[in-house]
Amino acid sequence: MKNPNTLTVSLVTIGDELLIGQTIDTNSAWMAKELNHIGASVKRRVAIGDNWDDIWNCLQKEGEAADVVLITGGLGPTSDDITKPLLCKFFGGKMTTDKAALENVIDIFTKKLNRPLLDRNLWQADVPDNCTVLQNKRGTAPGMWFEKDNTIYVSMPGVPHEMKGMMQDDVLPILKDRFMLHAIQHRTLLTAGIGESFLAEILVEFEQELPQHIKLAYLPSYGMVRLRLTTSEQNAAQGEIKLEFDKLKKLVGDYLVIDQDLSLQETVSNILKSSKKTLSIAESCTGGYISHLITLIPGSSTFFLGSVVSYSNEMKVEILDVPSEIINQHGAVSLETVAKMAEGIRRKTGSDYALATSGIMGPEGGTEQKTLGHVCVAVSSAQTTTTTTFDFRFDRKRNIELTAVHALNFLRKNIG
């Protein structure tokens, strides 16, 4: 290791699509999280195009700076994918067919895809003779592990689930095995209802007294702030991080949403599961996004009965039994309507709790009384129906996301 205390990693992503904005890079975040978890430290993430000189220079520079260079992308079967021949030349090898990789390609095409096998598919089994091949159990392009001048280089396909599989099956276990890494430990809590700078004021003394090897980070997102303490496992073993985390929780007080690194939908899901209560949702302005967040959670069918996306007023009346007078008198975006929506879906589904949203997400539809970004939210239970309003001031997509997060937080408070 270039630095005896930490294994440093550079993440290199290859592909023109990243430089013209066609693709959002979700691979790097996942890789960083997993590497962090085993105690490796990502120092840089670099994205470059399918260009020979750019790739070559990048590998050289990143290799000088980091212990491990993890490369994704550029291994496809088409002519714009030049990464493999470049790697072969960079490490001074010769191309050779890997038998296991070839069997894998043949297997995928004949058994799984049931398609004729083309030459360009067979070429996917060719690899430089000076690499260790990482077999791809989820696709045709094999991974390649090189070592040069005390640096490890691993090339993986850019397809997310293929890369993830290869990291989990091979790369992470090998790195963990070979280097004695101290896993980095994080303790994270989520706050709501207080801005970043006000939190910082509350935590001035805490930060000053924090031991040097424990770091505090502020991670704001969607109008909430996550606070994270970080240290290495060694220190954590001494109970120090627990101690500091408890202090932090006390200082944050009522602003605390949850003292784990969980999303709001996971938090809500855990509460409902453990109390064996069920949920239904009536979404107007969020258009199905809250239901999507809930149903992304495996096993959500144990507590989530379903929802109605009542985009039209007719649906509010016909399916959710909102009295049309209520809509006529108060409007579709009103506390009165959203309360009836929540009560309606709860009655229809027989759920213990119901959440409802109605608002103006933009870019059009705002009025003087009800401005763009105005949202009404209701939570209904057998005992009572509670409502609230929010006002956001962003674009349609962000307004929808903010509404979802704050509606879920309102639900959490009313089912706690």
Residue 121 or 155: the one with the smaller Cβ distance to its own copies is: 121
| Interacting positions 226-265 with its own copies (CB under 8 A) | 226, 228, 230
Shortest distance in whole angstroms from residue 277 CB to its own copies: 14
DSSP state of 6: B
Give me the 61-80 binding string for its own copies, x by CB under 8 A, dash otherwise: x--------------xxxxx
* CB nearer its own copies, residue 30 or residue 91: 30
Cα separations in angstroms, 392 against 320, 359, 360, 400, 411: 26, 10, 10, 9, 18
Q: Cα(356)–Cα(237) distance, rounded to whole angstroms?
A: 45
Q: What is the DSSP letter of 365?
A: -
321 binds its own copies (CB under 8 A): no
CB 171 within 8 A of CB 156: yes
Q: Which is nearer to its own copies, 161 or 213 (CB)?
A: 161
Query: What residues between 147 and 166 interact with its own copies by CB under 8 A?
Result: 159-161
Please give the full DSSP string across 38-57, using - where no structure is assigned.
TTEEEEEEEEE-S-HHHHHH
Please compute, for residue 297, the number of CA atoms within 13 A of its CA located in the half-sphere on the CB side.
Answer: 21
- Closest to its own copies by CB, 288 or 323: 288
Among 6, 28, 265, 403, binds its own copies (CB under 8 A): 28
b/e per residue 241-267 (b: at least 16 CB within 10 A): beebbeebeeebeebbbbbeebebbbb
Number of residues that bind its own copies (CB under 8 A): 103
Stretch of 91-99, 296-304, 352-360, 369-377 contacting its own copies, by CB under 8 A: 296-304
Query: Residues with Cβ < 8 Å from 331, sequence gap 6 or more?
Result: 337, 370
Residue 408 beta carbon to its own copies: minimum distance, rounded to whole angstroms: 14
CB of 92 to its own copies, least distance (A): 25
Using rule CB under 8 A, residue 56 touches its own copies? no
List binders of its own copies among 204-223 (CB under 8 A).
207, 215-221
Minimum separation from the CB atom of position 115 to its own copies (A): 7
Stretch that binds its own copies, among 30-38, 166-174, 244-252, 369-377 (CB under 8 A): 30-38
Query: N- to C-terminal Cα distance for the chain?
Result: 49
Do 135 and 100 meet the contact criterion of CB atoms below 8 Å apart? Answer: yes
Question: How, if at all, do strands 279-283 and 304-309 pair?
Answer: parallel
How far apart CA 332 and CA 322 sit, in angstroms, is: 10
Judged by CB under 8 A, which stretch of 128-136, 174-182, 193-201, 249-257 contacts its own copies?
A: 193-201
Q: Which of 130, 347 has the CB closer to its own copies?
A: 347
Closer by beta carbon to its own copies, 61 or else 148: 61
Task: Give the Cα separation of 231 and 212 in Å (integer).
Answer: 10
Min. distance of Cβ 301 from its own copies in angstroms?
6
Residue 20 in contact with its own copies, rule: CB under 8 A: yes
Q: How far is the CB of 130 from its own copies (least distance, A)?
A: 26
Q: Write the interaction track for its own copies spanning residues 387-416; mark x where CB under 8 A is met and - where it is not.
A: -------xxxxx-x----------------
| DSSP reduced 3-state for 295 | helix
Contact stretch for its own copies (CB under 8 A) within 144-152, 198-206, 235-243, 323-331: 198-206
What is the distance between the alpha carbons of residues 412 and 408, in angstroms, rounded to a whole number? 6
In whole angstroms, the minimum distance from the beta carbon of 89 to its own copies comes to: 21
Structure tokens given for 291: 């239901």
Residue 225 β-bridge partners = 191, 220
Q: Which two tokens stand for residue 124?
A: 């996917």
- The correct pick among 64, 233, 246, 314 for binding its own copies (CB under 8 A) is 314
